[in-house]
Amino acid sequence: MEHCTNNVYHGDKFCSDCGDELQQKPQRFNIGELSSDILEQVRKYYPDARAVTGRVLQSDLYKRVTKSSSCHLVYSYWWVKLEASDGQIIETSISAESKYTQSISRGHILTLYYPTSLQLLYPIKDRDAKKMVKDNQGAPCVVMHDDDGQSYSVENLYPEPIKKNAWLWIVAAMRQLLLLAK
């Protein structure tokens, strides 16, 4: 929405260019309010699918870590507090590993899309983050809305299986052939 060639954002009461009071104020809508049939198509495959659109009230960066004898990986997440279009406050984790979600701050408009639930399994790295983060739920898909359009980030819920090498079977078969040849 624009007034005097300047963008008008949710919560604005006056035009930032001319100072006039805005007659038409911007409103927030959820995806279900704009196009109710979109989620119905998805629910054929994922019955609990839902989407929430809202404004970020607070965002805090924290890390989760996984350690084993062969690797030590650290993943970055945002703990966000989001005010949905219906006024509901949602707190959840969002991956900060995507180029689109590296910077999330107060005022950003996000749509959190949940085709399925996402449980974060790796433990939280530092003590302060453990006090702040309330659960291990995460948002599988995040759509960032900005002036240039939308961009999205999707968690890799179902990674590709690791390909097995056939070299061991070839060696075993060669050995068996050599034993049979004797």
How confident is the model over 118-159, as pLDDT tens digits?
A: 888 888 988 899 999 999 999 988 888 877 777 878 877 655
Identify whether residues 24 and 39 lie together within a single domain: no
Residue of 65, 80, 77, 73 whose CA lies nearest to 111: 80
Kindly state the helix (H) or strand (E) to which residue 171 belongs, with its residue range: helix 167-181
Average pLDDT over residues 94-107: 88
**pLDDT at position 53:** 87
Task: Give the Cα-Cα-Cα angle 153, 157, 158 (nearest 5 degrees).
Answer: 130
Identify whether residues 95 and 9 lie together within a single domain: no
Query: How does pLDDT run across 12-39, given as a tens digit for each residue?
Result: 677 766 777 777 665 555 566 556 676 7
Identify whether residues 147 and 60 lie together within a single domain: yes
| Alpha-carbon dihedral angle through residues 61, 49, 149, 87, given to the nearest 10 degrees | -70
**pLDDT at position 102:** 85
Percent of the chain with pLDDT over 90: 20
Strands 2-3 and 6-7: antiparallel
Identify whether residues 63 and 118 lie together within a single domain: yes
**Looking at per-residue confidence, does 157 or 180 come out higher?**
180
Instruction: Decide: helix, strand or coil at residue 136.
Output: coil
**CB distance 17 to 5 below 8 Å:** yes
Identify whether residues 62 and 16 lie together within a single domain: no
- Give the confidence band of 100 by pLDDT, cuts at 50, 70, 90: confident
**Looking at per-residue confidence, does 15 or 89 come out higher?**
89
Identify whether residues 2 and 52 lie together within a single domain: no
- Per the structure, how many domains does the chain have? 2
Identify whether residues 54 and 11 lie together within a single domain: no
**pLDDT at position 155:** 79
- Give the confidence band of 72 by pLDDT, cuts at 50, 70, 90: confident
For residue 67, pLDDT over 90 is answered with no
Identify whether residues 77 and 128 lie together within a single domain: yes
